[in-house]
C-alpha cells in the first residue's frame, strides 16, 4: 500500500512537472509567434509605404526573405510533421505567404496611385549622370537626375531603356507634393 502511494505521488509530481514544462513550451511558442507576427506587420508596413524610397537598398528582396523565414519559423513552431515536412512547408508558403505578398503589392500600388492623383506636382528634372548596373544575366542602363520640390533638391535614378535620355536632358515628372520621392515620368517627354 505504501509503495502504491509513493507511486501515485511520484506520478502526480511527474505530471505536474510535465504540465509545467508544456506550459513553458507553449508560452515560448506564443511569445515567438507574436514576435514573428510583429516582424511580418512591420515588413508589410515598410513594403506598402516605404519600399519606393529604399529601392536601391533592395528592400523588397529583404522583406520577402524576412517573410519566408518567419513563415517557415511559424510552421516549425506550431506544426509537428516529420513525414510531410517539405509538403507542409511549401503549403504554408503558398497559402499564407503568396496572399500576404499580393496584398502588400496591391496596397503599395494603391498608395502610390493615391499619392500621385491627390497631390500631384509637375516638375522638370535634369539628367546628371548615366550609369550601367550589371548582374549575372543582364545589363541595365540607369539615369540619375535631380529636381526641385517642396523647397528641396531631390536626386533619383530610373531605368534608362524604354525612352533613353542623355546627360543634360530635361525630363518632365509628376511627383507627389506630400512625398516627392514618389514620381512618374510624363509621356516619356524629353526637353532638349
How far apart, in whole angstroms, are the C-alpha atoms of residue 35 and residue 43? 12
pLDDT at res. 191: 58
Do 17 and 105 fall within a single domain? yes
- Among 115, 148, 168, residue at a domain's last position: 115
- Among 84, 115, 146, residue at a domain's last position: 115
Do 61 and 91 fall within a single domain? yes
What's the mean per-residue pLDDT of the chain? 76
pLDDT at res. 33: 78
Do 86 and 18 fall within a single domain? yes
- How many domains does the chain contain in total? 2
Residue 12 has pLDDT above 70, yes or no: no
Residue-wise pLDDT tens digits, 137-151 = 888 898 899 999 988
Residue 47 has pLDDT above 90, yes or no: no
Do 107 and 94 fall within a single domain? yes
Do 110 and 126 fall within a single domain? no
Q: What angle do CA 47, 52, 57 make, to 5 degrees?
A: 85
- Among 115, 131, 166, residue at a domain's last position: 115
Do 40 and 97 fall within a single domain? yes
Do 141 and 158 fall within a single domain? yes
Residue-wise pLDDT tens digits, 109-133 = 888 888 888 888 999 999 999 999 8
Of 125, 105, 109, the residue nearest 117 (C-alpha)? 109
Do 16 and 74 fall within a single domain? yes
Greater model confidence, 142 or 96: 142
> Is residue 13 classed as helix, strand or coil in its secondary structure?
helix
pLDDT at res. 124: 92
Do 93 and 184 fall within a single domain? no
pTM here?
0.60
Residue 154 structural domain: 120-191
Do 127 and 164 fall within a single domain? yes
Burial (CB count <10 Å: 0-12, 13-18, 19+), residue 49: middle
Amino acid at each position: 500500500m505504501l509503495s502504491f502511494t509513493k507511486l501515485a505521488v511520484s506520478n502526480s509530481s511527474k505530471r505536474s512537472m510535465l504540465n509545467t514544462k508544456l506550459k513553458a513550451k507553449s508560452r515560448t511558442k506564443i511569445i515567438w509567434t507574436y514576435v514573428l507576427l510583429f516582424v511580418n506587420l512591420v515588413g508589410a508596413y515598410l513594403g506598402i509605404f516605404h519600399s519606393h524610397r529604399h529601392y536601391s537598398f533592395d528592400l523588397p528582396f529583404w522583406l520577402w526573405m524576412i517573410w519566408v523565414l518567419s513563415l517557415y519559423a511559424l510552421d516549425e513552431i506550431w506544426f509537428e510533421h516529420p513525414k510531410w515536412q517539405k509538403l507542409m512547408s511549401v503549403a504554408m508558403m503558398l497559402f499564407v505567404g503568396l496572399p500576404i505578398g499580393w496584398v502588400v503589392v496591391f496596397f503599395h500600388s494603391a498608395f502610390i496611385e493615391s499619392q500621385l492623383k491627390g497631390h500631384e506636382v509637375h516638375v522638370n528634372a535634369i539628367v546628371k549622370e548615366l550609369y550601367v548596373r550589371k548582374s549575372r544575366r543582364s545589363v541595365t542602363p540607369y539615369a540619375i537626375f535631380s529636381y526641385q520640390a517642396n523647397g528641396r533638391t531631390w536626386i533619383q535614378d530610373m531605368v534608362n531603356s524604354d525612352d533613353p535620355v542623355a546627360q543634360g536632358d530635361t525630363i518632365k515628372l509628376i511627383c507627389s507634393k506630400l512625398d516627392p520621392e514618389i514620381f512618374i515620368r510624363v509621356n516619356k517627354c524629353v526637353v532638349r
